[in-house]
Amino acid sequence: MRRMSKILPLALVPVLLPALLVATALAAGSPPVRADRIGLTSRKLTVWFADGSVCRAPIEAEGGQGMFVDCPHPARFDVRIERQNLLAPVLGDLVAPVATVTVISADGRAQTFLTPGSRMPGWNRD
């Protein structure tokens, strides 16, 4: 019995390599949807994603971390509350605590948001 010394003729490589790259890209799927904006109260984190979906998670008064439940996007969050807003005793959940919120997508990319929104770079009063 003769053994095949060449598995793939070199002439086929330029034809098969692009097809292999396209198949690999399609198998990887689409990239995760990015968070567009957030809302934070002393008890709840709300994240609006670029595709229009909204995910919510309860949080403790001092912050916390976890995964969104019943969310179409497998994202994690980390909420670090620096202090409650000085107006919170009067206005309650109408004002956001001073916090840093990180939303981590399934591929590990992190997005950081600051609350209240006026702490975000480029914020203006449109």
Taking residues 58-69, report their average pLDDT: 87
Average pLDDT, the chain: 75
- pLDDT digits over 73-116, tens only? 889 999 998 877 777 667 666 677 888 999 999 889 999 998 87
Dihedral pair phi/psi, residue 34, rounded to 5°: -85, 150
Residue 48 has pLDDT above 90, yes or no: yes
Give the CA angle between residues 118, 45, 38 to the nearest 5°.
40
Length of the chain: 126
CA 50 and chain centroid, separation = 10
User: What pLDDT sits at residue 86?
Assistant: 73
